[in-house]
Each structure stands twice: as structure tokens, then as C-alpha cells.
Chain A
Amino acid sequence: MRHLLCARAVSCALLCVSLALCLALSGCAATQSDFTRQTASAGGEFAAAALTLAGAHQGRLTFAYARGSFVNYQSQLDGLDAQLPGLQGAPDEASVHHLLALYAPAMRAVEQPCLDTACDWRAQVNALNRASAAFLRAAETSA
């Protein structure tokens, strides 16, 4: 019984300290805005997609590996265009519009990556790299 009461007291103490810490940390600059976090993540994802696609065509990865990876890239990036304008910390409309203009072609490459020799994979890698650079820059400037 004594052990149980002690364990309950520890649980309550952990909860209280956690809540206090949460309130304290949210007050200082220890966190990023949603916009910074999402654009940095999307920029990284587009860069990964470009590296994977180029890697498959340059013989560093198998096409199966690339195909398996792109399923995950797609689920990470899906719906970002709808979220982006409303994110906390989002910049002016023109900046968001610029990002969305680069998002569309890059997303087409993510949805239908060129994983055979009959299509222009270099154009897709370029679109992905352009989007990646723009999203990473947006994350950096908004931080």
C-alpha cells in the first residue's frame, strides 16, 4: 500500500512539474513557428526526393528502393498546399504564393516519379531541387 501511495505521489509530481515546464518553455524562444517547422520539413522532403530520384538513375540506389521511398515522401507532403497559407507565422501572401507555385510541379514529380528511361527524370530532379531550396530559404527567413 505504501509503495502504491508513493507511486501515485510520484505520478502527480511528474504531471505538475511537466505542466509548469510546458508553460515556462512556451513563454521563451525555445520553439519554432508552425510555418518554419512545416516549410523546413517540406524542403527537406523535396531534397530527399531529388536525391533519391537522381540516385536511382545514377546507379546509387535500386529503382525498387526509390519506388518504396516515394510512397512515404508523398504522404509527408500531401495537403501542404492547403495548410500553408493558414499556418501560424506564415509570411505575406506573395511569399506563400511563390512557394505554392514551386510546390505544384515538385509534387507532380513526387506523385509520379520518373522511374524508367522513357521520361525526363532530370527535369523532375530540377523541379524538386528548386522547391527544396525555396522552402528551406522560407524556413530560414521566417525563423
Chain B
Amino acid sequence: MSDKKEKGKEKSAKQPAKWLNILLGVVTATGGFLDAGTISTSGAAGALFGLGLIWAIVLATLAAILLVEMSGRLAAVSGRPYGGVIRERFGFSFYLLPLASELIAETLLLAAEIGGVAIAISLITGLSWRLLFPFVALGIWILLWRSSFSVIENGPAIIGIIALATIAAVVALGGPPPSLLPTLWHPDVQQGEWAEYLYLAAAIMGSTISPYLLYFYSSGAVEEGWSRDDLGLNRLTAGLGMGFGSLCSIAVVVLAAVVLRPHGIQANTLGEIGLPMGQAFGPVGGILFAVILFATCLGAAFEVSLSLSYNIAQGFGWEWGEGKRPVEAARFNVVLTALVIVAALIGLFAGDPLRLAVFASTLLALFLPFSLSPLLIIMNDREYLGEHTNGRFANIATIAVLAMAFLVAVVSIPLLILSGGGG
């Protein structure tokens, strides 16, 4: 009897911790949803086409929720990360394909994220972002080297929750005017703008369904020791976190459509995308935008660099883990360092981070099928998932997402060439 009481007490003590975990998971996923790619593509979408590309964000978010939930379920049930399972199930030669494609696209994205952090600091201090860029890259490397996984995962994401201020800004500006609403279902695309419209749609898909999310999320679940008990947390984190993140992304579209579009501003630089926040909240609004940009790009820089390092270490069968000391996972940490150096060099010579982010998002869109296709087979393998394999609905939805990924991959490069890179 007393044993039962003890268990009851233990259970009730665990309840707040469980809810805190869920809250932290949702906050992390919300803050982690936005990055230089999503902010750039959402800003450009609103400035150029009003509300006419919100459908792409909604579609991409639904796909991302589905895929992230599956990668988390795989990690929680099998105790293995997605990258490691692809290598194990399909062999090393096959694994090289998603690995190489991720390496190309995500190194560029990492350079853009570092640039995003530098621009955020420049908007607060007034210093040139080019001057700040090398120091930001060094700072990111030091944090990656010294910090624990939970600090890296939760720190920027908790600050990134300020991203919800974009929704408040839409309310403060009185929402979209009635004249803008029809662009939601009838996009205002002039003759000659179709290539740019479709290119932005593809870039939104690439920036939202970034495969690094799957690799990072599943590796993180393994690092945190998720088990079958965490499947509920996984579903909530994927659904609510991505959902809230997507709302912020849509808010950026609305803000750009309401404030920038009437002036003919195309959102070619990250600072421009923050101007509506100034209209809504005064000088504090600009600072809020800079903090959002800082936190989301910093979080994404951590996630992208860790995700790539996980991929390489898991592919070659090396020791890996941000929780391990550098000496315990030496090759993993060498790769991490090399990636930050290469991305910093690219960022120094490539110029504007916004264009780099949109270009990287297009490449991610091009490579989507390589990273996503194995998921369908793996999620139906009882050896890894036991009774938690995909149901019929999940399989149909995954096939639909894969079909969309193939379509986006096919059109991304022609549209990149024809639209002149989105601007």
C-alpha cells in the first residue's frame, strides 16, 4: 500500500516536469522553425505577391510536421538517428547521395545563417555586418565547442519565441486590408512574373522542409535518450511547435504585404523585412526584429552545423554527440570545426546573406527527394519501429509529400535560372 503511495507521489512530482518538457519542446520547435531562409522567402513572398504564397507555407508546414514526427518516432522507438538508419538500411554507397547533397546545400545555408546573425547585430549596433561576420563565425564555433546539447538546442529557441511578436505586429497594424485579401486565393501575378512566383514557392518548400530538421531532430532525440514514453511529446512538439513557427512565417508574409508592397519594396535585404515591425511598434519594433533574426539564425546555425556533423559521423560510423567531450568524439568535432570554417569563407566572399539563403533553399528543394525517399521504406520496417510503423494515412501522406518533393526538385533549377535567382 505504502509502495503504491510512493509511486503516486513520484508520478505527481513528475507531472510538472513532463509539462515543462512539452512546453520546452514546443518553444524550441517554434523558435527553431524560423531561420534566414524562411524569413527571407516569407518577406520576399509578401512584398512581391501579397498573400498569394501563403498556400506554399501551409503546405510545406504540413509536410514538415509529418516528416519531423516520423523522424522523432523512429529515434524514440529504435534509439537510432535517421542518418544512421539510412546508412545501415541502404548501405554506404547510397548514403553518400543524401550526404553529398546535404553537404553542398547546408554549407551554403550555414554561411547564410552566420550572415543573418551578423546582420542582426549590425541592425542593433549600426556596425557593418561584413565587419562583424568573422567574429560571429568565431563565436558560433566557440559555443558549439563549449556548450552542451541542451544549451545549443534550447538557448536560441527560447529567445526565438519573441518571433511571436510578428503576429502581434500584424494585429497592431490592423491586419491585412480588405483589398489585399483576394490575393490569398487569387495571387496577383503579372505577365512575366510566373517564373519568380513559382521559384519563390519552391524556395519556401526548400526552406521549410529542410532535411537538416529531420537529421537534427532525430539525432537530438537520441542525444536526449528519448524512448517510447516520449512519443506523445514528439507528436506535440512536431505539431504545435511547427504550427506556431508557421504562423510567425505567415505573419512575416502579411507584414511585408501590408507595409512593403505598396512602396514597391521587394525585401531584397533582411533589414527591409524588419521595417514593418518599426511601423507597428516604433524603435522597439526594429530591435525586436533584430533579436528575432539573431536568435533564429543563431539557432539554425547550430542546428545546420550539428546536423551536417551528425550526418558525416553517422555515415562513417564515428563516435558522435554534442554531449560528449571533444576528446571522446574527436572526428565529429573536427568536422564541426571544418564546416564552420568553410561556411565562414563562403559567407565572406559570397556577399549578401539573404540571396545566399534563398539560393541555399532552392538547392535544398532540389535535393529533397534524396533525403526524404528512404523515410517511406524505413517507417514501414518493423525491425526498427515494431508496432509503431506508419499507418495507411501516414503512408499516403508521405507519398504525397514525396511526389511534391520530386515536383519541386524538377522545377527548382529551371526556375532559378529563369527568374534570375529570385531577384
On A, residues with C-beta under 8 Å from B are: 1, 3-4, 7, 10-11, 14, 17-19, 21-22, 25-26, 29-34, 36-37, 40-41, 43-45, 47-48, 51-52, 55, 59-69, 71-73, 75-76, 132, 136, 143
Query: What separation, in Å, do the CA atoms of A60 and B284 have in the docked complex?
Result: 8
Across the interface, A47 reaches (CB within 8 A) one of B264, B285, B351, namely B264
Q: What is the CB-to-nearest-CB distance from B343 to chain A, in angstroms, rounded to a whole number?
A: 20
| A64 CA / B193 CA spacing, docked (Å) | 35
A–B complex contacts, Cβ < 8 Å, 27 sampled: A1-B93, A3-B91, A3-B94, A4-B94, A7-B94, A10-B373, A14-B369, A14-B406, A21-B414, A22-B413, A22-B414, A30-B418, A32-B193, A37-B423, A41-B423, A45-B265, A45-B269, A52-B275, A65-B271, A65-B278, A65-B290, A68-B122, A69-B123, A71-B130, A72-B271, A75-B352, A143-B190
Known: A1-B93, A75-B351. A68 touches B119 (CB 8 A): yes
Q: How large is the interface on B (under 10, 10 to 19, 20 to 34, 35 or more residues)?
A: 35 or more
Bound: A69/B195 CA distance, A? 28
Shortest beta-carbon distance, A108 to chain B, in Å?
Answer: 19
B196 touches A76 (CB 8 A): no
B419 in contact (CB, < 8 A): yes
Main secondary structure of the interface of B (DSSP, over half): helix
Mostly helix, strand, loop or mixed at chain A's interface? helix
Contacts of B352 in A (CB 8 A): 72, 75-76
The CA of A33 and the CA of B420, in the complex, are separated in Å by 10
Measured CB to CB, the closest approach of chain B to A40, in angstroms, equals: 7
Residue-wise, chain B 200-234 has the 8 Å CB interface mask toward A (1 for contact) of: 00000000000000000000000000000000000
CB <8 Å contact, B283 and A59: yes
Contacts of A1 in B (CB 8 A): 91, 93
Can you name the residue of chain B whose Cβ is closest to the Cβ of A129? B263
- B264 adjacent to A44 (CB under 8 Å): yes
